[in-house]
Structure 1
């Protein structure tokens, strides 16, 4: 209808009316573009909220797992240290529950912290920039680097366990009455066990290093949750 009116005014050389019609068209197009942009912005904000909620769910589980497991990792390193101390003092311990804890710690390998499927998806698709909060991106990247470093140590620890001399000095069995479906030390050869001290030193060093990474991963996970919680609170 505006086009028909504009055509008529041009034919009539009514330039003032032409100007009015043209202005109406321009304003209409401008408003249409602005409305479309506003709708897209609102849709993007909703997608961002869903993304943050997914990340929050991932790291809530990661932090929960870390808070539950980290003390066990620290305790395992302490058991290994106590075994090394007994060997250095050359005092053969009785095969009681404490000694069993020491022996089992020497071959115990804990899994690394979980990854975030949502973060992995963003990295794989090259869309990490969807996260507009620079601090959150940095915290996510820091967690990924810390977990990668821990995975390297995990592989080293598995190799040490599978190729180490401990099992030639300690006899293990499964299905412990104390803990369930895990290894339990049944007996040990003290002279052979004493010869494993250099290996145990490597085991302890790796356990301590992994615990350091686990502590940093847990701190990063908590920081990520705090940033996301603040962001969602400000967006609601």
Structure 2
């Protein structure tokens, strides 16, 4: 209809009418573009909000995981320091608790950070949908920190001590400790699997075998040195986990702020 009107006005050389027709076309195109842009902007805002909700859930899960790993390694640390203190005691005063402490001090948690949503944002380029630069900066710092934290925990957990004690200790005693005091598994509402290391443990081992192993391991300087180093590394992992929890709380606070 509009094209027919323009053609008619041109034939009539009614240039004012042609101008009005042309203005109608321009305004119509402009309004159409603006509506499309507005719809796209609204859709991008909706997608961004969904991603922020997913990121908040992911950070909360990471905080929960950090706390569980922290509690686990703190229990490992307690066993380790009890074993280390026993090296200063007369060997004849020690019992099977010394063997349990030595073994449990080598336990570890294979922690892997949850980065799926953030990695998806980076891979698809949708990180740009989060227009609040403060939020993007907080997310970048937090998730890069989680990768570094995982590396720190792995290095701190898998020190030479784990190999040393599991190489020198009698295999039957190791089996006894694993069967009586191994990891317990629990599942969260978010379907995450968590480990729990019992804080107390008892094993049944013959007096003769226990006495032989206690004397042999108590006199082993390598076991003592590796344990001392191992405990220092566990303290590093605990500090990293604590920093991760604090960083998670700070990131959640920033994500909850109104978008700037």
Normalized against structure 2, the TM-score is what?
0.75
- Counterparts of 1:1-236 in structure 2, within 5 Å, are 1-87=1-87, 89-92=88-91, 94-95=94-95, 99=98, 102-112=101-111, 114-156=113-155, 157-158=157-158, 160-169=160-169, 171-173=173-175, 174-176=178-180, 187=210, 188-194=213-219, 195=221, 196-231=223-258
Kept in 2: contact 1:147–1:217 (CA 8 A)? yes
Long gaps (5+) in structure 1? none
Long gaps (5+) in structure 2? 186-196
Q: 1:178 to 1:8 in 2, by over 3 A?
A: closer
Partners of 2:73 and 2:11 in 1: how far apart?
87
Q: 1:100 to 1:117 in 2, by over 3 A?
A: farther
Deviation of 1:91 after TM superposition, in Å, equals: 3.9
Kept in 2: contact 1:146–1:213 (CA 8 A)? no
**How many aligned residue pairs are there?**
231
Partners of 2:119 and 2:225 in 1: how far apart?
38
Deviation of 1:126 after TM superposition, in Å, equals: 4.2
Normalized against structure 1, the TM-score is what?
0.81
Kept in 1: contact 2:84–2:224 (CA 8 A)? yes
Q: SS where residue 180 of structure 2 aligns?
A: coil
Q: 1:172 to 1:59 in 2, by over 3 A?
A: same
Partners of 1:139 and 1:113 in 2: how far apart?
20
